[in-house]
Amino acid sequence: MSLSKAFIEPGKTIGIIGGGQLGRMMALSAKAAGFRIAVVEPSKNSPTGQVADTEIVASYDDRKALEKLASISDVITYEFENVDYEALKWLTEKAYVPQGAEMIKITQDRILEKQALTEAGVDVAPYAVIETEEDLYKELRNIGFPSVLKTSRGGYDGKGQYVLRTEEDIATAAALLKNGRCVLESWIPFAKEISIVITKSANGDIEFFPIGENVHVNNILHETIVPARISEAVRQQAAVLAKKIATQLELVGTLAIEMFLTKNEKLYVNELAPRPHNSGHYTIEACNISQFGQHIRAVCGWPLLKPRLLEQAVMINILGQHVEGVVKQIPKQPHWHVHFYGKAEAKMNRKMGHITVLSDDLDRTLADFENSGIWKNG
């Protein structure tokens, strides 16, 4: 097998590390183009495993499992950033992994990520690296309140972070240091949260998807509104920042960039996700190419399509506590595009699926979702 850049033909096998919903939607897009799918995932019958041709049940750092994946795959990608960096680096020497391993190393560590963003010349919230409780007291004198303490590794959907509003919060927040080094960030008084999904192919082509406006509830993405209700100047600014980051990090594949927008239209980059992103799910119905189809094209050496928004859209997440209400509503909602991910158990605050509605009136669509009563409990 060649480890060099390659055009991967239909009929070949794409290996995916990770068996969650992002891998599932990647796999479905790949199958539409005629590819076969192999997946490595610790859980049997995972969302991706259900639609894969070959399911390898093993941990992400299992070298024998990864070697098997390499032996049957013509190209390998990953569906989330918490894969084992050392194992992925080892795999790049045995298989064609166009994304490499360095992007994973950077984006799974908030400290390295912020350093890389600063080197790319983009603004991030003022921050400090915290190793001890004494560091926390010291740096709070500079950063002040309110601020956010985040674990440097492993946090997602609000896990691994704590908002400090007064000195009384310090002792509770410091418990996060048991998990290792942390980052203390100044609180950005943002007007909106937005995200942009950018894709860069192994051939160097770069394309952007329309910017989404994100609404979070309890630190979990609740809904994405597209197009984001922002000025053209902000759109252009976000695209410039995205291209700087993609260039600095030598991106191949898909990268989602979450940003804070202040009232005076200044953008701060908050987080990176080196794969398709929850806020890009709207692209399946609302664009001429989905973020998953574009990612597959990128890692397989196909030319990228220029994304075009076909219609305004609202995407809303279905968490475990929403499943029953959504299912009851399906017969009454012919305009809902409903996606369920095939997860075995509906748990509180666990992402079980999403709904996208194409809309000629965003305010009405948002009101309809609100009035359904399904999401009243978060």
Instruction: Count how many domains the chain has.
Output: 3
Is the separation of the CB atoms in 18 and 48 below 8 Å? yes
The residue to which tokens 């509104």 are assigned: 225
Q: Of 166, 186, 206, which residue sits at a domain end? A: 186
* Inside any domain, residue 349: yes
For residue 209, the SS3 value is: coil
Query: Rounded CA gap, 5 and 310, in Å?
Result: 32
Residue partners of 48: CB distance under 8 A and separation at least 6: 16, 18, 19, 20, 23, 24, 26, 27, 37, 39, 41, 79
Question: Is residue 79 domain-shared with residue 130, that is, in the same domain?
Answer: no
Span 78-131, pLDDT tens digits: 999 889 999 999 999 999 999 999 999 999 999 999 999 999 999 999 999 999
Q: Which amino acid appears at position 364 of this protein? A: R
Q: What is the CATH number of the domain that holds 244?
A: 3.30.470.20
Look at strands 267-273 and 253-262 and give their pairing: antiparallel
Q: Of 156, 186, 216, which residue sits at a domain end? A: 186
* Inside any domain, residue 299: yes
Q: Is the pLDDT of residue 2 over 50?
A: no
* Inside any domain, residue 111: no
Residues linked to residue 330 through DSSP beta bridges, in sequence order: none
Question: Can you read off the two tokens belonging to residue 26?
Answer: 């990647």
Range of the domain at 170: 126-186
Residue partners of 244: CB distance under 8 A and separation at least 6: 120, 121, 122
Q: pTM for the whole thing? A: 0.95
Question: Is residue 272 domain-shared with residue 198, that is, in the same domain?
Answer: yes
Q: Of 162, 186, 210, which residue sits at a domain end? A: 186
Confidence of residue 157 (pLDDT cuts 50, 70, 90): low
Span 241-284, pLDDT tens digits: 999 999 999 999 999 999 999 999 999 999 999 999 999 999 99
Nearest to 116 by CA among 236, 267, 271, 240: 271
Whole-Å CA distances, 100 to 53, 85, 300: 24, 10, 14
Question: Is residue 347 domain-shared with residue 219, that is, in the same domain?
Answer: yes
Q: What is the CATH number of the domain that holds 19?
A: 3.40.50.20
Residue 150 has a CB neighbour count (10 Å cut-off) of: 21
Question: Is residue 132 domain-shared with residue 267, that is, in the same domain?
Answer: no
Question: Is residue 221 domain-shared with residue 365, that is, in the same domain?
Answer: yes
